[in-house]
């Protein structure tokens, strides 16, 4: 079945260092979404990418969607303690026109002050 | 504008019992999806409701059932609870049943089966 994998599973950084998580889907996706889940919290939508090769920025966060629309990345510049949490990518099942999301395995980010 | 609300926030049940979880979607949203999130894992899709009908279903047994009401709120029912059903149950609402609309999640119901 369709799988969405993320690496790394866990990353521990010093505050101020950069962080990147990579997302790979076994199928081509019509779009990819990114969510952040703080410890003990619920997933919160960050962004959606639709176009092949698309790059979007939100302050210190940069999101990319691969040319083949099967992979994506999230890069955080100069991490802060507020960035702590698990970052999930998610794509529609079978890559198509549906709101049924297949979530990636997630990357847990720990930031040491 | 209220976001997605779920009740209860925490629940402890015994194996074999039945449980009902509730969700009120974000104002203006008509589609509700339910996810199960085990500790340390990503959310797993259970099913989705739109216009009071189950539209899509994930790989969950028939013990998991749901309902959507005319006001778009939804219930998730789980029968014959197993220890493995212990998880965070998340409700997500979206604007339309269609492509690429972001999901707004509730705070979840933490279910513990003992």
pLDDT in tens, A9-51: 999 999 999 999 999 999 999 889 999 999 999 999 999 999 9
* Cβ-contact A88, A34 below 8 angstroms: yes
CA distances in angstroms from B50 to A45, B40, B62, B67, B109, listed in the order given: 21, 29, 19, 10, 21
Mutation target among A100, A102, A108 for the B interface, most CBs of B within 10 A: A100
Q: What whole-number percentage of chain B has pLDDT above 90?
A: 78
Report DSSP state, residue B38: -
The distance in angstroms from the start CA to the end CA of chain A is: 40
Q: Which CATH architecture has domain B5-113?
A: Sandwich (2.60)
> Closest partner residue to A98 among B41, B44, B56, by Cβ?
B56
> Which residues form the domain of A96?
4-112
Q: Report how many domains make up chain A.
A: 1
CB contact under 8 A, A105 and B41: yes
- Of chain B, the percentage scoring pLDDT greater than 70 comes to 93
**CA A43 from centroid of its chain's CA atoms:** 12
3-class secondary structure, A83: helix
Predicted pLDDT at A97: 60
What's the CA gap between A36 and A45, in Å, rounded? 7
Residues near B5 by beta carbon (within 8 Å), at least 6 away in sequence: B23, B24, B106, B107
Looking at residue A2, its pLDDT comes to 83
Q: How far apart are CA B53 and CA B97, in angstroms?
A: 12
Which pair of tokens denotes residue B17? 């019992």
Look up residue A9 and give its DSSP letter: S
At B82-105, the pLDDT tens digits run: 999 999 999 999 876 555 567 899
- Give, in order, the Cα–Cα distances in Å from B74 to each of A77, A92, A99, B90, B107: 40, 22, 16, 12, 15
Instruction: Say which of A42, A93, A104 has its CB closest to residue B42.
Output: A104
Q: Is the pLDDT of residue B38 over 80?
A: yes
Report domain extents, chain B: 5-113
Yes or no, beta carbons of A103 and B100 under 8 Å apart:
no
Q: Which residue has the tokens 């992979």?
A: A71
Cβ atoms within 10 Å, residue A79: 21
Q: Which of A90, A97, A100 sits opposite B48 (nearest CB)?
A: A100
Confidence of residue A4 (pLDDT cuts 50, 70, 90): very high
Closest CA to A3 of A19, A27, A29, A21: A27
Query: What does the pLDDT look like over A86-111, one tens digit per residue?
Result: 999 999 876 666 678 899 999 999 99
Cross-chain residue pair B99–A44, CB shorter than 8 Å: no
**CATH number reported for the structural domain that contains residue A35 in this entry:** 2.60.40.10
**CA–CA gap between residue B2 and residue B73 (Å, rounded):** 13
pLDDT for residue A93: 79
The alpha-helical segments, DSSP class H, found in chain A are none
């Amino acid at each position: 079945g369709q799988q969405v994998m993320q690496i790394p599973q866990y990353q521990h950084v010093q505050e101020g260092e950069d962080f990147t998580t990579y997302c790979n889907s076994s199928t081509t996706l019509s779009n990819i979404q990114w969510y952040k889940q703080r410890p003990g919290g619920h997933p919160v939508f960050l962004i959606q990418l639709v176009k092949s090769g698309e790059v979007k920025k939100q302050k210190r966060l940069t999101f990319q969607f691969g040319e083949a629309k099967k992979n994506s990345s999230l890069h955080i510049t100069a991490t802060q303690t507020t960035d702590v949490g698990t970052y999930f990518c998610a794509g529609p099942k079978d890559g198509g026109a549906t709101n049924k999301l297949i979530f990636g395995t997630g990357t847990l980010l720990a930031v040491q002050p | 504008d209220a976001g997605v609300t779920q009740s209860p926030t925490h629940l402890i049940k015994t194996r074999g019992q039945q449980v009902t979880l509730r969700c009120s979607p974000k104002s203006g949203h008509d589609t509700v999806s339910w996810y199960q999130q085990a500790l340390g894992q990503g959310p797993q899709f259970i099913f989705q409701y739109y216009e009071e009908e189950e539209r899509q279903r994930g790989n969950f047994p028939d013990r998991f059932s749901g309902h959507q009401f005319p006001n778009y709120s939804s219930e998730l029912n789980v029968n014959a609870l197993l220890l493995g059903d212990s998880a965070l149950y998340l409700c997500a609402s979206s604007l339309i049943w269609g492509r690429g609309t972001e999901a707004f999640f509730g705070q979840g119901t933490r279910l513990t089966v003992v």
